[in-house]
């Protein structure tokens, strides 16, 4: 055992859990002991970490004892049931479900945007939705420079955002349809292969879905500004990995396209790829596996002189999930030793 931390991954066998394993290894996070936790179904299965096979255990209260960092990535109900238990047992909980995001006592953190919020955590830190993260990373520098007044955003979200079963469903349906077989539907409400579903999470207030409300409320909490007016449409598309967003941003002061490019190119964790003449712009197939939020198609809004349009793409399993969680741990370790 090397010097380091006891890290538990709750949901280790899921889409985000597996990405957490590879990011911990890639970034050489000092893991002295690793607990891989999942449902009873996965108990005994092995996963590879740092060249060794490790057994998955069933998530129980006892399995959370002695843990320094508990990375929760299973579901809201699991986080609500076991997150407080882990925190009471002394772990710092980093939770990527929606269980605690809007709790006023729980910081909701994107490391490049509001790391200061980590200072007052009480054992549980929430990680935002995978569509909110890239959006706030792009809004923050513009808000600081010219105050963002209104945002209109439409998302194009990959199936991996809905977990490992959703990835398998797109794969299975695509193969079936290409060979003339019927596409069976189980995860989504309709066929996802060769289709787009304007429906992520349950429909709620005013005809907006839960995912659409999450983007609004989480953006307000992270940027600490409820006055930003927002309109959101979230769409599931038949892409395996990476979420894209078409964003219209209205600012109080006018900012030129050139200045927006400079501000975003200088923003931490953001990269600009914007050369339309050469057909250079971010796309899911080029952004998959990358850490940055990529932005392109930056242009003036033809209908408004203080608004711009842009296109962003971010790997939902990395910055939208596992990477931000590991970066939160890294910050805590750097600042407080934990």
Ligand X SMILES: NC(=O)c1ccc[n+]([C@@H]2O[C@H](COP(=O)([O-])OP(=O)(O)OC[C@H]3O[C@@H](n4cnc5c(N)ncnc54)[C@H](OP(=O)(O)O)[C@@H]3O)[C@@H](O)[C@H]2O)c1
Nearer to ligand X, 100 or 272 (CB): 100
Nearer to ligand X, 200 or 295 (CB): 200
Catalytic residue from among 121, 127, 130, 143: 130
Asked whether the beta carbons of 5 and 13 are under 8 A apart, the reply is: no
Closest approach of ligand X to the CB of residue 184, in Å: 18
Closest approach of ligand X to the CB of residue 82, in Å: 8
Q: Verify whether residue 243 is a known catalytic residue.
A: yes
Closest approach of ligand X to the CB of residue 260, in Å: 27
Residue with tokens 């509001």: 114
Nearer to ligand X, 98 or 251 (CB): 98
Asked whether the beta carbons of 136 and 222 are under 8 A apart, the reply is: yes
Is 152 buried (19+), middle (13-18) or exposed (0-12) by CB count in 10 A? middle
Nearer to ligand X, 125 or 142 (CB): 125
Report the candidate in 77, 79, 84 with the shortest Cα–Cα distance to residue 9.
79
Q: Which residue is nearest to ligand X (CB)?
A: 14
Query: Can you read off the two tokens belonging to residue 90?
Result: 């002394």
Report the candidate in 148, 154, 155, 153 with the shortest Cα–Cα distance to residue 250.
148
Report the candidate in 4, 1, 2, 7 with the shortest Cα–Cα distance to residue 325.
7
| Contact positions vs ligand X (CB under 6 A) | 11-17, 38-39, 41-42, 59, 73-75, 78, 96-97, 130, 160-161, 163-165, 316-317, 320-321
Closest approach of ligand X to the CB of residue 311, in Å: 19
**Alpha-carbon distance 300 to 187, whole Å?**
39
Catalytic residue from among 243, 262, 304, 333: 243
Active site residues: 130, 243
């Amino acid at each position: 055992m090397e010097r380091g931390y006891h890290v538990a991954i709750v949901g280790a066998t899921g889409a985000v859990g597996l990405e957490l394993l590879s990011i911990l290894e890639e970034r050489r996070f000092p893991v002295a002991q690793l607990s891989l936790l999942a449902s009873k179904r996965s108990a005994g299965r092995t996963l590879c970490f740092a060249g060794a096979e490790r057994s998955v255990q069933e998530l129980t209260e006892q399995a959370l004892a002695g843990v320094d960092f508990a990375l929760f990535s299973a579901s809201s109900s699991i986080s609500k049931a076991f997150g407080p238990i882990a925190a009471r047992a002394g772990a710092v909980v980093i939770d990527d479900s929606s269980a605690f995001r809007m709790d006023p006592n729980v910081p909701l953190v994107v490391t490049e945007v509001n790391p200061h919020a980590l200072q007052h955590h009480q054992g549980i830190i929430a990680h935002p939705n995978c569509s909110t993260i890239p959006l706030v990373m792009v809004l923050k520098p513009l808000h600081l420079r010219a105050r963002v007044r209104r945002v209109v955003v439409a998302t194009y979200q990959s199936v991996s955002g809905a977990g490992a079963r959703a990835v398998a469903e797109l794969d299975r349906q695509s193969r079936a349809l290409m060979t003339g077989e019927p596409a069976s539907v189980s995860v989504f409400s309709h066929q996802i292969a060769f289709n787009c579903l304007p429906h992520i999470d349950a429909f709620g207030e005013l005809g907006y879905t839960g995912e659409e409300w999450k983007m609004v409320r989480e953006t307000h909490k992270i940027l600490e500004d409820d006055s930003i007016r927002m309109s959101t449409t979230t769409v599931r598309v038949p892409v395996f990995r990476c979420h894209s967003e078409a964003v219209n941003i209205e600012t109080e002061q006018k900012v030129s396209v050139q200045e927006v490019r400079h501000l975003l190119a200088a923003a931490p964790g953001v990269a600009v790829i914007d050369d339309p003449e050469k057909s250079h712009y971010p796309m899911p197939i080029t952004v998959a596996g990358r850490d940055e939020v990529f932005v392109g198609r930056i242009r003036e809004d033809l209908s408004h002189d203080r608004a711009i349009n842009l296109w962003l793409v971010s790997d939902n399993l990395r910055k939208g999930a596992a990477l931000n969680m590991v970066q939160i741990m890294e910050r805590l370790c750097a600042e407080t030793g934990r």
